[in-house]
Amino acid sequence: MSHSRPPFATPQALSDWLKPRLPSDSLASWGVKPGTKNVHNLWLELSEGETSIVDSSPPLRTVNVVTVRVMGKGDLVLVESRQQLSDGSFRDRFRPLSEKMKPNETVEEAVARAVKEELGSVIDPGSVRIVPGSYIKKLEERNSTSYPGLPVRYVLHSVDAWVEGVPEEDFCTDEQ
């Protein structure tokens, strides 16, 4: 029987809980292998309610994600090509804008926040309109890229949106 875990008091408490539940080599690669995050990152996600973890073998991390296909002229779609991580390394993305949802956040609220966080340095974030009828929800389970050895279930909430002021040429942003 599996059940949701209560919050962990410290990153070390989370690490101690994970160690016997994950393949022996996986936890050691977190935050070391390029493109991965560390236990502290996962602890923050759990503490902020951006992710949950189920006590199973191995544990299952669940994340609600909003994906926004920003539509441009001529049916072009904005794609995030790569992301710079906090340690200065880069991770290839090649996908539409996406953000983890906050607890109790609606899809519309998450879309507005995601556009503001990701594009706010180049556009007016008040210019977002979700394309009617474009909402799709799907589940996707796979091995986590961020946390090797920890399976993840993504609850994906996808929409198309029109966002005024997006540059038509390649550009870089600073996440707010």
pLDDT in tens, the chain (176 residues): 445 556 799 999 999 999 999 988 889 999 998 888 999 999 999 999 999 999 988 899 999 999 999 887 777 777 777 777 667 777 777 788 889 999 999 999 999 888 888 777 667 656 788 999 999 999 999 999 899 999 999 999 999 998 877 767 666 666 54
CATH architecture, domain defined by 11-163: Alpha-Beta Complex (3.90)
pTM: 0.78
Domain segments of the chain as ranges: 11-163
SS (H, E, C) the chain: CCEECCCCCCHHHHHHHHHHHCCCCHHHHCCCCCCCCCHHHHHHHHHCCCEEEEECCCCEEEEEEEEEEEECHHHCECCEEEEECCCCCEEEEEECEEEECCCCCCHHHHHHHHHHHHHCCCCCCCCEEECCCCCEEEEEEEECCCCCCCEEEEEEEEEEEEECCCCCCCCCCCCC
